[in-house]
Structure 1
Amino acid sequence: MHGQKRVMVTGGTGFLGSFLCERLLREGNDVLCVDNYYTGSRDNVLHLLDDSRFEVLRHDITFPLYVEVDEIYNLACPASPVHYQFDPVQTVKTNVHGAINMLGLAKRTKAKIFQASTSEVYGDPAVHPQPEDYRGSVNPIGPRACYDEGKRCAETLFFDYHRQYGVEIRVARIFNTYGPRMQTNDGRVVSNFIVQALQNEPITIFGNGTQTRSFCYVDDLIEGFIRLMGTPAGVTGPINLGNPGEFQVRELAEMVIEMTGSKSSIVYKPLPMDDPTQRKPDIRRAMQDLGWQPTVNLREGLEKTIAYFEWKLSGGVKSTLGVRSSRSAYTYLPTPAVGLPVPQAAPLGT
C-alpha cells in the first residue's frame, strides 16, 4: 500500500466508519477498515474496494490485533440502544477490552489513537447544555449502563495510557448523529421516524415528545473527527462534537411527516428507564481548539437522509415518493436490501 499515512478505522463498515474511510481515502491515506459486522455492513464500503489503498479486515477488537499503523480511529461499538442492549455483556467487552487492545496496539506502534466516545457519558444531565467538564448523571446499573459506563471506562483507559505510557490520544464525545447509511432497523429516533413516515405507519414517540435532542449531520461530524485528529499533541480532548441546535422530539416527528408527505399519525408511549430528557452540546471547546462548528442545518440533512431511505426501501430504484434532484446526487450503497421491516421504535441513542 502507498499514501500519506496508514490509518486503521475500527467499526469501519458502520454508519460513521464508512464515511470516515471515504474521507481518509480522499485525503490520500492508506486505510485499513476493521469490523466484525455486528452492526456494520460490507455494503457500506463496497464502492471503496477497487481502491488499492483500501483494505477490509474482518476482526473483533475484543481480541488483540497485530498490524502496523500510523493512526487508529476506534469507532467499534454498537451505538443504538436496540443493538447495545441486545448483548450488554458484549457491549461492555467491546468498550473495555476493545479499548485495551487498541491502546496496546497504539503503544506498540507509537500510533496516534482516536476514541469515539459519546454524549451518553453525561447520562440524564443536570447541566444544560453539557460542557466537557460536566461529570454527568449516569445510572451505573441500569439497562443503558453497558454503553454509558463502557464508554466512560474507555475514556479512563485512554487517559491512563496517555499519562502512564505517553500514548498520543484524542477523545471525541459524539452527540446524536444522523444521515445516509443508518440501518433501517437502527432503532434511533431519526431513522425510526423516517422509515415509519415513508411507510405511512404511526410514528412512535416515547414520552410526551417534549424531550430534546441536538442532531448533527454525518458530514459535519466526520469533519470534526479529522480536525481533532490533526490538532497538536496537547489537545487530547475530550471534545464535544455535535450540533447545538436543539429540537423537541415532537418537532422532529412533525418535520419528518411534513417533508415526506406522509399520512402517519403520532402515537405516544412511556419513556423508557434512564432515557435522558434533554441533550445539547456545549461546543465552545471545539470552536476554539478545532475551529469547528456544524454547517448543515436539520432540514437540509433530513432531506438527504429521507432520500437515502426512500432509495433503500424501494430496493435501490427510483422512489415512488419522488426524490428531488438535489437529493439524487448522494452516494448510496451499491447493493440495498429489499423489503426491510419497520423497526420497533426505541429510546434515543447517540
Structure 2
Amino acid sequence: MEHAVVTGGAGFLGSHLVDSLLEDGCRVTVLDNYGSGRPENLSHVESSQLTVQKHDVRDTFPEFDDVDIVYHLASRASPDDFGSHAVEIAMTNSQGTERALECAREYDARALIASTSEVYGNPEEHPQSETYNGNVNIRGPRAPYDESKRFSEALAVAYEQKYRMDIRTVRIFNTYGPRMDPHDGRVIPNFLSQAIRGEDLTIYGDGSQTRSFCYVSDLISGIRNVADAPPEAAAGDVFNVGNTEEISIQTLAEVILKVVDTDSGVTYKSLPQDDPEVRRPDIFKITSELSWEPSISLRTGLERTVPYFEGRLADD
C-alpha cells in the first residue's frame, strides 16, 4: 500500500487530493498548520488509512515508517495574504520545500512540488508554456508568493541534480470548486460570495483582463497523472495543469450572475499592482505526454460549487 505524505492536506486542493488518494487505496498522512487549511475540509473522511497531524512545514518533518511519495502543496495562495503573511509565505515555499524534499530524500521517495502559474508573472508570452521564464516584479506586492514559488522550483532542480531524486513539478493555474474559502480574495470566491449575498460584483480594472479556470476535480486528476507517471515520463520535469478556456473577468461576472440567479449588479474599482493582464496555460505537454486534459466546463463547475458557498456563507 503506497504511503503518501501531503503537506497542506487540509487546504482546498490538498483535501481533494487526499480524497483521491484514499479512493485509490493509499495510506495518507496530512501535515497542515491550518494557516489557510481547515480541519472541516477532512471531517467527512472516515478511513483508518488517514492520519492528520498539525504541523508547520517550516519545521523538521515527523518520522515515518516509510514514505513512497511526498506531495508538497502547503502554502497560502490568497492574494489577500500576500501582504499580511508575506514572510510566512516566502518561508513556506523555501524552507518548507527544503523540508519536504529532505523527507523524500530520507525515504527514497518521489516528490511532487506544487508550483503555480504565478511564476510567469504578468506574461509577455501568451498562452504560457513551460519553457517561458516569466515576467515577475521581484519587489512587488505579489513577490513573496511568486518568487518563493520560483525558488521552490529551482531548489527542486538542485535536489534532482545533487541527489538523483525523482521530483516532479506541476504549475497550477486558476482552480475553483467546493472547499474554496469564500473569503479567499480571488475572483471566483469574491464573485460567488457577492452574488449569493445579493451584493454588486466588484470588477478590478475594466474587466478585459482574462483568466482560465479549472474545476478542482480536473486539477486533481492532472496532479495524479503527473505523480503516477513512470519516471521516464515525468521525473525531473514540469507540467502546466489548468483549463485552456480563456474568459474575460467581465464575462465571468455575467456567467456567475446567471448561475446564481441574483439581482446583483457590477461595480468597478482600480486594478491592483502587478495583477496579470492575461493568463492561459499551454497544456500541450501534459496532454501529449501524459494524456490528460480537463473535461468540466466553467458553467458546470460553477453550478457544482454554488451549493458549497451557500452553505459556508449561511454559517458566517
Q: Which band: TM-score by shorter chain?
A: over 0.9
Match of 1:58 in 2: 54
Q: How much has 1:233 moved relative to structure 2?
A: 1.4
Q: Does residue 258 of the first structure (1) align with residue 263 of the second (2)?
A: no
Match of 1:318 in 2: none
Match of 1:156 in 2: 154
Q: How does 1:271-286 map to 2 (within 5 A)?
A: 271-286=271-286
Following TM superposition, where does structure 1 have runs of at least 4 consecutive aligned residues deviating by more than 4 angstroms?
Answer: none
Distance in structure 1 (CA, Å) of the matches to 2:63 and 2:214: 33
1:288-344 CA distance string (max 9 Å, x none): 121000000000000011121122223xxxxxxxxxxxxxxxxxxxxxxx12xxxxx
1:65-119 CA distance string (max 9 Å, x none): 1333111100000111112332101110000000111111111111110000000
Match of 1:18 in 2: 15
Match of 1:75 in 2: 73
Q: Is the 8 A contact 2:82 2:141 kept in 1?
A: no
1:37-65 CA distance string (max 9 Å, x none): 000000000111x3100010000001111
Distance in structure 1 (CA, Å) of the matches to 2:287 and 2:195: 35
Match of 1:101 in 2: 99
Q: Secondary structure at the match of 1:37?
A: coil
Q: Secondary structure at the match of 2:178?
A: coil
Q: Secondary structure at the match of 1:114?
A: strand
Distance in structure 2 (CA, Å) of the matches to 1:107 and 1:84: 30
Q: Secondary structure at the match of 1:33?
A: strand
RMSD between superposed Cα atoms in Å = 0.9
Q: Is the 8 A contact 2:18 2:28 kept in 1?
A: yes
Distance in structure 2 (CA, Å) of the matches to 1:225 and 1:146: 24
Q: Secondary structure at the match of 1:201?
A: coil
Q: Does residue 219 of the first structure (1) align with residue 217 of the second (2)?
A: yes
Q: TM-score, normalised by structure 2?
A: 0.97
Q: How much has 1:36 moved relative to structure 2?
A: 0.2
Q: Does residue 119 of the first structure (1) align with residue 138 of the second (2)?
A: no
Q: How does 1:74-223 map to 2 (within 5 A)?
A: 74-223=72-221
Distance in structure 2 (CA, Å) of the matches to 1:17 and 1:169: 18
Q: TM-score, normalised by structure 1?
A: 0.88
Match of 1:289 in 2: 289
Q: Secondary structure at the match of 2:61?
A: coil
Distance in structure 1 (CA, Å) of the matches to 2:82 and 2:91: 11
Match of 2:246 in 1: 246
Distance in structure 1 (CA, Å) of the matches to 2:50 and 2:99: 22
Match of 1:267 in 2: 267
Q: Does residue 27 of the first structure (1) align with residue 24 of the second (2)?
A: yes
Q: How much has 1:258 moved relative to structure 2?
A: 1.2
Q: How much has 1:167 moved relative to structure 2?
A: 1.4
Counterpart amino acid of residue 148 in structure 2? G
Percent identity of equivalent pairs: 45
Counterpart amino acid of residue 19 in structure 2? E
Q: How much has 1:237 moved relative to structure 2?
A: 2.3
Q: How much has 1:151 moved relative to structure 2?
A: 0.1
Distance in structure 2 (CA, Å) of the matches to 1:105 and 1:54: 19
Distance in structure 2 (CA, Å) of the matches to 1:85 and 1:254: 30
Q: Is the 8 A contact 2:199 2:265 kept in 1?
A: yes
Distance in structure 2 (CA, Å) of the matches to 1:285 and 1:167: 22
Match of 1:345 in 2: none
Structure 2 residues without counterparts, runs of 5 or longer: none
Match of 2:34 in 1: 37
Q: Secondary structure at the match of 1:61?
A: coil
Count of aligned pairs: 312
Structure 1 residues without counterparts, runs of 5 or longer: 315-337, 340-350
1:257-286 CA distance string (max 9 Å, x none): 111111111111111111000000000001
Q: How much has 1:222 moved relative to structure 2?
A: 0.3
Distance in structure 2 (CA, Å) of the matches to 1:258 and 1:67: 50
